[in-house]
Structure 1
Amino acid sequence: MGRYDDSYDANRSETDETTNLISSEKVDGTAVYSHDGDKVGHIHHFMVGKRNGHVEYAVMTCGGILGMGEEYRPVPWDALEYDTDLGGYVINIEKERIGQTPSYARDQEPTWDRSWGSTIYSSYGLPY
């Protein structure tokens, strides 16, 4: 049985979490908290490097009501730490600074280039 075995059963249960790995399907929607435990948003999706396969950003949604007025905030993956007690990710900056990090509206997708990446990382105090 190889990786591309024709007998693959699409209905079988797949492992979506191990000690060190988690399925992206399970992370989407996970809450993001400030250091003081206040919920500040949730993970909407990831931006993954095409060539290296590493998650570079978790895009967090903040604000809005029923999807109206939501902001999308790319957060460097290294700026998040999973907290098992909270069942979500804790962001590594003060809650007051989150509103000062780069964001975009649903209909205004940014250019995901080096300049944008540098701006995002520096807003979290991380090297790009």
Structure 2
Amino acid sequence: MSNTGIATDETSRLIASNKVEGTAVYNNQGEKLGSIHNFMVDKLSGRVEYAVLSFGGLFGMGGDYYPLPWDVLTYDTGQGGYVVNLDRAVLEKAPRYTSQNEPSFDRDYGREVHGYYGVDYPY
């Protein structure tokens, strides 16, 4: 907080990246799917392209990472997390990677990820 009393990590419209990381992600049935590991921002436009979901593993460790197009997430204040219209079985078959084999996040990969979720790739 600054000395003016205004929060610098969250406002009514904006949130700092460190507050997004770790936020829970639920499906429409209220089932927790995982949490936001990080997000990928386009360097030129400043637009968030992906939220990377940490899913699986034990106690949040050793799981895979699932890039979700930012546009498929909706923040739900009631749950205090993001909601995505997916069930667990669909997510389990989605494009993913481990910390040892990160993708290039190039246009071909972007088209693959966005196509899986039925979202137009904007680039």
Q: Same fold by TM-score, threshold 0.5 exceeded?
A: yes
RMSD over equivalenced CA pairs, Å: 1.5
Residue number in structure 2 paired with 1:72: 65
Q: Aligned pair 1:28/2:21, yes or no?
A: yes
Q: Which of 73, 87, 93 lines up with 1:94 in the alignment?
A: 87
Deviations 1:1-45 (A, max 9, x none): xxxxxxxxxx84642112221111111000000110000000000
Q: Which runs of 5+ in 2 are unaligned?
A: none
TM-score by length of 1: 0.86
- Paired with 1:67 and 1:95, the residues of 2 have a C-alpha distance of 16
Bigger Rg, which one: 1
Partner-residue secondary structure (3-state), 1:74: strand
Match for residue 16 of structure 1 among 3, 6, 9: 9
The answer for the alignment partner of 2:32 in structure 1 is 39
CA drift at 1:92: 2.4
Give the secondary structure class of the aligned counterpart of 1:86: coil
Return 5+ residue gaps in structure 1 as ranges.
1-10
CA distance in 2, matches of 1:61, 1:54: 21
Number of equivalences: 118
Equivalent residue for 1:119? 112
CA distance in 2, matches of 1:20, 1:55: 15
The aligned residue for residue 102 of structure 2 is: 109
Cα displacement (A) at 1:68: 4.2
Letter in 2 for 1:22: I
Q: What residue number does 2:41 align with?
A: 48
One-letter amino acid of the structure 1 residue matched with residue 73 of structure 2: L
Does the Cα contact within 8 Å between 1:35 and 1:95 map onto a contact in 2? Answer: no
